[in-house]
Structure 1
């Protein structure tokens, strides 16, 4: 579970069945997996589960209240946040995001430490798309503090006492100050543009019409960064691995990207690149499991899960089952993902009321970013090429040792 957690879930599902107990990372929990587990989470998740124990640290450390709410308050805050993480906002800022993406790619030629470069790229893109405020000067602070919180509060890889380290406390204070400064600046200097995450946070009221406290507003301002940087960066990294490992796919997406101007509207008409994004999410899902705690006892597949039990619903296990995806070991960008979505067996961002708020923006940005990359750069495996070694720190990714060689493309126009 410290490495390829998705493969671990698939292997244990095949060996143990749809529900079993695990002790790992100094924790004991129940794993539910398979199509029926996804359906259970979708239909009964709000009734029997809470995410407060697993995600409460995000709220206590950074005011991200949405992770610990249930029922109407949760639905209301998700709606507020969702309006600030929408594809429409990305469309409104497309020219700025595209220009920054190309500027980032112009620094890539040479040997590229893929995960690091993709994290920096994602941070720059999200800064512009979500807030218009650059986080470049605080990038290292953001990355180290966010990853530590995820490792402590969600993965449980480090004791909670780790969050009392002076270096972390200073980083946390700097991040919260950044969020509050951005909100204060926006309050006194409105942009007059389409409302973004900062505008939504400033205007947000709770389900009773009362303004949210400042710490919750700051958490809202950080939400896109927190959930988004690594999700995007790891997806970009795996997409680059897929392109380097499958020359035929690379040829198709390159031809498609170069077939006309790269406008935002055209992103919807790029089936090869969309297939690349969706297939990468199938094979390398960013959220292979959803951590919950049972608020009441319940039965699943003939077993009783007691109140208070920690549960991990391995929502992406169906991705590797042939009854849902024929020849699942084959990387195939022409799969039919529409029917799999409807059946809740394609679930790279989980299912139910806690599905990732930025899933739509993530998919669009990944298509756009890979299109711009293959137009401007030629990437190839570094010498000697290393086999892919997935790690789960803090989420599934190709690891710090994954490198590629990048060079300028003969065609660098937009």
Structure 2
């Protein structure tokens, strides 16, 4: 009698998260619901599962193991094109830094990346701080700070002045309407294509693109050495176009110039809004933050280096990034089959890398649902576990502007706390909306109980 040969093991079937017919889980895939939904599915199904919506199937890779895999192997198997080309086409181009990979992506990033760094912000800190001072100056004791709108106004104007040497004040509503609606139609699919044909959208589009084209024309007419200023993003783009006109068309240049607003207007602004929500929600933590803000401005405007050395402020912002990540996941297309968690994910499959699922796991962060900035303190450093913390994405497409974004958030938070004493409404219950990234809704306000220092003193 001979022993039977072992049967080959059956391939593991990827489980599918159940959902209603046709629509599937589509309503749970909107940015403000996505992380909680994917975290629950990860707990039930493990690190790989399918979700469906409106006839499409996405394979989700989740958990710290998925983040580690993405950093090591993602560039070999994944691309961004299908997720972002529709947005490119709305601007008249077929490619941009966010939609391409490999050598082409690196070429875009080399040119555009310099002016998105923390160092570049540091060299232009007073210009950014001037915007904060202007927008804090009108506030008096008894006023309510409208958090979401205030943050968008400040961050958008700071990007305009620092990155492209312009102003967005006359165009703020147009930029918000154009950029947000384009993303919600083309990328997150929260709104129907009809939106792009409405008169209000078309006006906003024309004014926004006209603003950028006027800035480019002005930069062409008056180069930085003639204007007596340091080169900015548009100057870098014009220099790149002169060196390689076949790579940089005028439309590519326009797309890259408005990219500062596409990439930063919502993300940094909405993160700052969540930070201010937490200021109102946790008054017991505010005195330590105020003490650091006062020390930072004691001898005039702080440097980026000194802001980075404020431990309580930095941990507070980091914990907000953990609990309120603006980019909860990344959508990609598989370029060649790969194995992950004992399953084969096939070429052509759309995948969601659930980068921020670990943010809500007790295996990664102690009492993960609790707001606890000290988890980032020496001796704990819970975010150092491989794959645990990814607020800016992962891999080759990790946010190019993360340094500037975090610098602006720290700068604005310190300036606000130096200038105003704020109190949250204890009856307010956080309600997140997606426009297109998650943000507190317009009901969130903070009451100014006193003006601690004149806003103009921020620049003294």
Q: TM-score range by the shorter chain?
A: over 0.9
Give the counterpart of 1:132 among 159, 165, 172: 165
When residues 360 and 366 of structure 1 are mapped into structure 2, their CA distance, relative to the original with a 3 A threshold, is same
When residues 164 and 302 of structure 1 are mapped into structure 2, their CA distance, relative to the original with a 3 A threshold, is farther
**What is the aligned partner in structure 1 of residue 362 from structure 2?**
322
Q: Are 1:227 and 2:263 matched, yes or no?
A: yes
Give CA deviations for 1:188-240 in whole Å, capped at 9, x if unaligned: 12333222111111112599784510111111111111110111111111101
**What is the aligned partner in structure 2 of residue 42 from structure 1?**
71
**What is the aligned partner in structure 2 of residue 204 from structure 1?**
240
Aligned residue pairs total: 413
**What is the aligned partner in structure 2 of residue 287 from structure 1?**
327
When residues 405 and 220 of structure 1 are mapped into structure 2, their CA distance, relative to the original with a 3 A threshold, is same
Between 1:130-139 and 1:57-66, the stretch displaced more is 57-66
**What is the aligned partner in structure 2 of residue 216 from structure 1?**
252
Q: Distance in 1 between matches of 2:364 and 2:66?
A: 14
Give CA deviations for 1:61-114 in whole Å, capped at 9, x if unaligned: 224611221211111211211112122221121112112211111234422321
**Which structure has the greater CA radius of gyration?**
2
The answer as to whether partners of 1:294 and 1:311 remain within 8 angstroms in 2 is yes
| Cα drift, residue 407 of structure 1 | 4.2
Q: Distance in 1 between matches of 2:442 and 2:56?
A: 26
When residues 303 and 267 of structure 1 are mapped into structure 2, their CA distance, relative to the original with a 3 A threshold, is same
Q: Runs of 5+ in structure 1 lacking a partner? A: none
**What is the aligned partner in structure 1 of residue 7 from structure 2?**
none
Q: Are 1:7 and 2:7 matched, yes or no?
A: no
Give the counterpart of 1:253 among 289, 293, 296: 289
Between 1:17-26 and 1:98-107, the stretch displaced more is 17-26
SS in 1 for 2:333: strand
Q: Distance in 1 between matches of 2:243 and 2:215?
A: 25
Give me the TM-score of the superposition, normalised by structure 2.
0.84
Give CA deviations for 1:229-257 in whole Å, capped at 9, x if unaligned: 11111111110111111112211101111
Q: Distance in 2 between matches of 1:394 and 1:327?
A: 29
* Aligned CA-pair RMSD: 2.2
Give CA deviations for 1:18-61 in whole Å, capped at 9, x if unaligned: 11111246643122110111122212222221211111122112
Give the counterpart of 1:33 among 62, 68, 76: 62
SS in 2 for 1:126: helix
The answer as to whether partners of 1:93 and 1:128 remain within 8 angstroms in 2 is no
When residues 294 and 124 of structure 1 are mapped into structure 2, their CA distance, relative to the original with a 3 A threshold, is same
Q: Distance in 2 between matches of 1:183 and 1:169?
A: 21
| Cα drift, residue 307 of structure 1 | 2.2
**What is the aligned partner in structure 1 of residue 446 from structure 2?**
404
**What is the aligned partner in structure 2 of residue 84 from structure 1?**
115
The answer as to whether partners of 1:76 and 1:206 remain within 8 angstroms in 2 is no
**What is the aligned partner in structure 2 of residue 151 from structure 1?**
184
The answer as to whether partners of 2:279 and 2:424 remain within 8 angstroms in 1 is no
Q: Distance in 2 between matches of 1:408 and 1:175?
A: 37
Q: Distance in 2 between matches of 1:80 and 1:149?
A: 25
SS in 1 for 2:344: strand
Give CA deviations for 1:333-363 in whole Å, capped at 9, x if unaligned: 2233867357242100110011111101111
Give CA deviations for 1:254-301 in whole Å, capped at 9, x if unaligned: 111112234114212211111111111011111110011122232221
**What is the aligned partner in structure 2 of residue 61 from structure 1?**
90
